[in-house]
Structure 1
Amino acid sequence: MWGLAPTFRAGTDPDGGGQVTGREVILEDVRQLCIHELTVAPTGESHTLRQPEYAWKWWSYVAQFLNECPTTGTDPLHMFGKQCSERVMRQIGIDVEKVQECELTTQDEKLKYQLENSAWSEDALRINGWRYSGTMDADLVTKAICAGFVVTPEPCARLAAPANPFNVDNLPRAPEGVSNSQLMEVFIILAVLAVGFMYFYKRSLTRHVHTALREEVMLEVQSQMAQYKQLGDL
């Protein structure tokens, strides 16, 4: 939770005794609120009674900031804080100067509103202004969002359709057997390996036999020479 004071604002410290403070968390919250206000635009669709709006740059910023500005970073350009935030904004194409102006002029107003309208939990979610009290499950949240459309869009119709257990097209296919061509390739490879093995085995055996014969002849010659020497001494 966070509080509001005239000169100091504190929020939940995300890294304990690390460099990032609760105040920086609150400033980042204000920064994201400003980014959303400056980038949200009508989608041009008419699935609901009220013209839907979407801020794709805000979504891109939130995802990229989470990945590129961790609280465990050491370089100010790549850790949680203003410098990394502005670097990410420039990459996405968000007007940094307008965001800074929004922060300076509306910071207290935004923090006061958030203080007076605090969320009921850390995972609080509102859909079309209504409080969502279900389980934070992707499928359930998707169905709750789709239920807010007057004219159901195609993605919602596809996601909300019940699964057909008898539809074999959606079932994982069993791996196919080995084809004749693959079997022939394996046979040829094994045959080549067998021929190669026999060739090198024959060469090794021949070399071994020649070496054994040579050693046997040398031993016989040495034996005869020894006997001849003994006869000469007599």
Structure 2
Amino acid sequence: MTLKGWLERCGQFIKQALPGYCAFCLAPASAGRGWCATCLVELPWNLQPCRQCAEPVSPGASLCGHCLIEPPAFSTTQAGLLYQEPIKQLVHDFKFQASPRAGTLLAELMLLTPPVTQSDALLSVPMTAKHARARGFNQSHWLAERLSRQLGVPVVTAKRVKDSPSQRTLNRRQRAANLAGAFVIESPLPAHVVIVDDVVTTGSTGHALARAALDAGARRVDIWAAARTPLGKD
């Protein structure tokens, strides 16, 4: 690692390791929060989301073109932030560095913009055994458990039965085909289930998992994520 990269990484670690200080700028944090009032306002809020998948849309539009043409299996998506800096760095530190403070901050930010209707259960996105061993934890399940304790809503689980290639380099249609039949839920589900995840990119994962949830007895499935990939980035 270069000296510049090392210094940047140390700066990120210091920001996330100091309780009582804003995780984004190191100013004193607001009482009981991990951020200051100024940084909270300046975060990349998702102000014009598609009602169904949360992709940013034009003012006045309620649905994006994708949801109009090919409606997903889930009903709505709540993603209060856009996957841009500094949220992008926060998600990276949580997902790939297993930073507990980064995860806590994401959960707290999610609680600022919760779904309109409380669900009967939260459903985490399962990982393949290979990915779970490599990463050491499931960020979706971690968030679901944290939100479950805050809201008093139980967490239900699914199994990933298809070891698909990574989604990172795939386009929207490839992602959907890659995840077809990937998830199974063995226990009956309550009527309203909310899938919890860190980032929604195209909604393909949510669509595949929502199909499995509906097959398991749910009548409505929504998504609740920390952030949504901006328009044109998925």
Q: TM-score range by the shorter chain?
A: under 0.3
TM-score under structure 2 normalisation?
0.19
Structure with more relative contact order (C-alpha pairs < 8 Å, separation 6 or more): 2
Q: Looking at CA atoms only, which structure, 1 or 2, has the larger radius of gyration?
A: 1
TM-score under structure 1 normalisation?
0.19
The structure with more strand, counted as a fraction of residues: 2
The structure with more helix, counted as a fraction of residues: 1
